[in-house]
Amino acid sequence: MNVEVRIPEVGESITEGVLAVWLREDGELVGIGDDLFELETDKVTMAVPAEVAGRLSRLVPEGEVVEIGQAVAAIDTSAAERPGAGEDVGAPTAAPVESAAAGRVEIAPVAPGEGPPIAPPAGLPQARARLAAAGGDLPLSPAVRRLIEEHGLDARAMPGSGKDGRLTKEDVLRHLEQRGAPAPAPDSVSTPAPAAASAAMASTAEVSPAVPATPAASLPAPVSPMVPVRAADPRETRVRMSRLRHRIAERLVQVQHEAAILTTFNEADMSAVIAARNRYKGDFQEKFDTRLGFMSFFVKAAVDALKTVPGLNARLEGEEVVYQHYTDIGVAVGTEHGLLVPVVRDADALSFAEIERRITDFARRARERKIALDELTGGCFTISNGGIYGSLLSTPILNPPQSGILGLHRIEKRPVVVSDQIVIRPMMYLALSYDHRIVDGAQAVTFLKRIVDCIEDPERMLLEV
C-alpha cells in the first residue's frame, strides 16, 4: 500500500515553504522516524520524518516551493515486508532486521551465500556507501552541488559535517581553502571560506565569497594575441535567498518603517560578574551539570529592569498599548542558516541553572534545525550578544512587536576612573534600542542604567533592591 507523505502544519500563519533538501534517496527503504527531507519556511527549518516504513518514492525535486498539505512523496509499505522486491538480479539481497522502534524495519545487505546479515548504520551513511560503490551522485543540497560542479570536485573525497555525515557548503569551502596553497588550475579556482562571524549570523547558502585572483603564472598562454582568454570559472555566484533569510529581511524592513526606533548606550564594569563566575563555576557545573555563562546574568538583569520599567515590557496593537505581566525573554542564537530568537518562557521564575540549560539546549537544537516554531514566538524582550563575534558596539534592531532589545558586546579591558584613580577594568558597551512610540527616552535610560546596576552589583538581583 502506498502512503502519501504530505507537508505538515507548522504554524497558523505559514501556508507554504521550500523543500530544501532530500535526506533520503528515491527508492530507498526507510523506517518509522527516519528524516525524509528538510522543510524551510519563513520562520523555521525542520526535518520531516517518515510515519511508516517502506520504500520511498519522491514526487517533488529539491528547491521546490510546496504548500502545506501537499503530497511530496509516497511510501510503499509493502516493500518493508518484501525487502528484496524491485532489486536488480545479481545484486546483493537484503534481509529485514527488527529495530527497537515498533514496526520499524531496517535493511541489511547480504551477498548471496554469505550467511546471516550484519546490519550497517541506517540512513544516509548507508546510502553514501551504496552510491559510492555504484559511482552515483551523493545526496547534496543545491548550493553544495553547484560548488562541486563549478570546481570539479569529488564529493566522496570530502568528509561531511552535516546531519548523518552529509556534506555542507562549509565543508566544500573548507576543502577549497585547504588546497588553496598551490595555484589551482583555471577550471577549479579556489574560494576562501567566509569569516566565522558571517558563517554564524547568516546562512552559508546566502554568503557569496569573493574569488581570489589567480596568479599570472597559473594562467594558460593565449591562443592568439587577438583573442582574449577568460578563465572558465565564474567570478560570482548567484544563490536564491532562503525563505528564512527572506522573512528576516521583510521583518527588519517592516520594523524600520513602522516603529520609531531609538538607541541609547551605556557601559558596564564586568568585574563583579567575572569574579562571581570564576568563584562558583566549578561548583555550579558539578551541581547542575551545566556551565555558568554570562547570559544568565543578563537575562536576570533584564527581568529586574522590566519590573522597574514596565513600558519596555509592552507592545503596540493598533491604538492600544498592551502591557505584559510576564517575562518571556528572547535570546538571539546565530546559526549557519540565519539568526533565530528562541524564547526563555517565564524567565522570572527560573534559576540561573535553568536559564543556562534552556539557552544551551536552544543553541544546540537551532544548529541542528530541530527548534520548534512555538519556541520562536511570543517573546516580550530580546537580548542579542554580538560580543561573541567580536563586536565592540552596534545598534540592534527591534524584534516586532516587542518594544525593546538589548545588545551586548565584547568585554574589553579599558582604563576607567574609580574613586579618582585610573584603573584597568573589563568593560562592556551595552545598547538598548526601543520603540519611541511606547517608551520615552527617560524610561529607556532608566531601564539601561538598571541593567548596568544589576551587572556591576549582582547581589541587587538577589535582594531585589
Active site residues: 436, 440
Q: Strands 404-408, 381-385: parallel, antiparallel or unpaired by DSSP?
A: parallel
Q: Which residues sit opposite 269 in a β-bridge?
A: 427
E-strand stretches of 9-151: 16-22, 29-30, 35-40, 45-49, 54-58, 64-67, 71-76, 93-98, 105-110
Confirm if 340 and 359 have CB atoms less than 8 A apart: no
Return the SS3 of 277: helix
Q: For residues 198 and 96, what is the distance between their CA atoms, to the nearest angstrom?
A: 45
Q: For residues 52 and 3, what is the distance between their CA atoms, to the nearest angstrom?
A: 8
Confirm if 248 and 157 have CB atoms less than 8 A apart: no
Q: For residues 371 and 338, what is the distance between their CA atoms, to the nearest angstrom?
A: 13
H helices, E strands: number in the chain = 11, 21
CA angle 172, 62, 155 (to 5 degrees): 25
Q: Which residues sit opposite 429 in a β-bridge?
A: 267
User: For the chain, what's the residue count?
Assistant: 465
Query: Would you state the cell numbers that stand for residue 409, as one nine-digit string?
Result: 558586546
What residues contact residue 337 under an 8 Å CB cut-off, 6+ apart?
A: 45, 203, 204, 205, 242, 244, 369
Q: Which residues sit opposite 38 in a β-bridge?
A: 21, 47
Query: What is the DSSP annotation of 426-463?
Result: EEEEEEEEEETTT--HHHHHHHHHHHHHHHH-THHHHH
Q: For residues 159 and 172, what is the distance between their CA atoms, to the nearest angstrom?
A: 9
Confirm if 430 and 454 have CB atoms less than 8 A apart: no
